[in-house]
Structure 1
Amino acid sequence: MTHTDDDVIEAAAGQVERALADTALQPEIKAFFDEETNTVSYVVHDPDTRQCAIIDSVLDYDAASGRTSHESADPILDHIRQHDLTVEWLIETHAHADHLSAAPYLQEKLGGKLAIGREIIEVQEVFGKLFNAGSDFERDGSQFDHLFTDGETFMLGRIEGMALHVPGHTPADYAIVIGNAAFIGDTLFMPDFGTARADFPGGDARVLFRSTRRLLSLPAQTRLFMCHDYKAPGRDEYAWESSVAEQRAGNVHVKEGTSEDEFVEMRTARDRTLAMPKLIMPGVQVNMRGGHLPEPEENGVSYIKIPVNTL
């Protein structure tokens, strides 16, 4: 069956409204902030069944030495074990350009299914060429256990979940709605910081605007959880939770009354001033592989490629 955009948003809104009306359908959420990459990871669980999802985990990577570590992931591991949670899902909202994913490390320790949106195939095609990944690199999403489609539903214990396709930042961005909460990746930041950039390969400012409108069509009380925060000018503390109502009223880039053309003009001009993220080369190269390092070469060492004069 083919679902229209309105059908999907209506279904997501219904899920949120059911959770708002019944506290038993609201998840418990623990945030883990990595200041080095300004990334927020989440453990989301059903208090009754103790089934959980890990969203957007971080693998520490030192670009100067090429060394990885698990300082950011281990607190997630400890939290899950201390609270006797069972991992059902390890979810990536998109193939991140600003950090490496720790999903394979956490999956090895805790189990669960690694998932991302099916449009990761488009990202793999584009960046597979950019990094000259070769014919051994599969461009079919098979590095992940599950590929979400727009409007797909799933259960986290007794709590309903839904995947919403919100492209624009990349073709494969998804928001993950669980109960009354939505984990929105890079589509929106806190209201005083605005929206994600749209100038990466496959990005599109016009598409991004329409994706923000999808999210802001959810019920006003929907809790929105950001993937990043950079402390907007005048704000001294990091923050990563807002609501649909707060974003509609105050998002500096897409608040109510902002037209699509106004947004595209602003976003395009702003993106021209932005430097590439520090970890875009290792980040995308690893994350398009489901968080796995490139296959070791004949000497047993994995290598990160840095294409010159390309981005």
Structure 2
Amino acid sequence: MRWEDYRRSDNVEDRRGETYDGGGGPSFGGGGGLGIGAIIVLGLIGWALGIDPRLLIGGAEMLNGARNGAQVARPAPQQQRQAGTPSDQMGQFVAAVLAENEDVWSDILPAQKGIQYVKPRLVLYSGATSSSCGGARAAMGPFYCPNDQKVYLDTSFFQDMKRRLGGGGDFAYAYVIAHEIGHHVQNLLGILPKVQAAQARASSKGQANALSVRVELMADCLAGVWAANANRKYQILEPGDVEKAVATAQAIGDDRLQQAGQGYVVPDSFTHGSSAQRQQWLNAGLKSGEVDSCNTFAQ
């Protein structure tokens, strides 16, 4: 993936190196079961690593904490935070990918849906930090918090992708970021509040989880929409990039991770979709470049 010559976004909040003495993660339960989850299913690598899945599902269901009034975790006493573009290579990469998302969505969201794109901030942290949706921890994976319209990312997650799942590579990492930006687009379109309301009315945890799957698959598709338009405009893709991203999407389906972690699959517990579904919807966005091709709720 070509990114080195692209501009860097200054909408990055660098909290790496901060200490944190806050409380636990977001609250769970209530309403229609687990919430809609804004993190990609890579956060569920705990199934394969033997990490308590309740913690990781809690990360995947960060929005449920917001819906049920989770308290904001307490950060350590205020420290000097770096605002703008980080100077290290990983920070530069993240800022470049964020800038590409800003420029693409600022063009296509008004053109395709008649809605102005509001740029979110991206918070880089290490280990743990606070968000308006509750405490954030590295084991949760990246996530989007609609309460403060920020994406939270501990970049050690990329190392886990490469080491544990064979999902490394710049475009695979960009796909992770673009997926979370996809949740921001859903929020701007008014989809997330509607799904939250539907989950509150859900009659079972399985029904609530099914709504979560549709939200996550749509974010996969929107990541593909971004990539398709970014490539048309800036020629960011290199040979093998798309194949790596599709292979990553396939490798991180709920079914594959559950099979690896516990030896069997429970479809009603899926929160992000199967390997085949994730691959299907990422490809749909990549091929069309159109937001309307990502209507997972019509399927």
TM-score (norm 2): 0.29
Structure richer in helix, relative to its length: 2
Q: Which has the higher contact order (CA 8 A, sep 6+)?
A: 2
Question: Scaled by the length of structure 1, what TM-score is found?
Answer: 0.28
State the structure with more CA Rg: 1
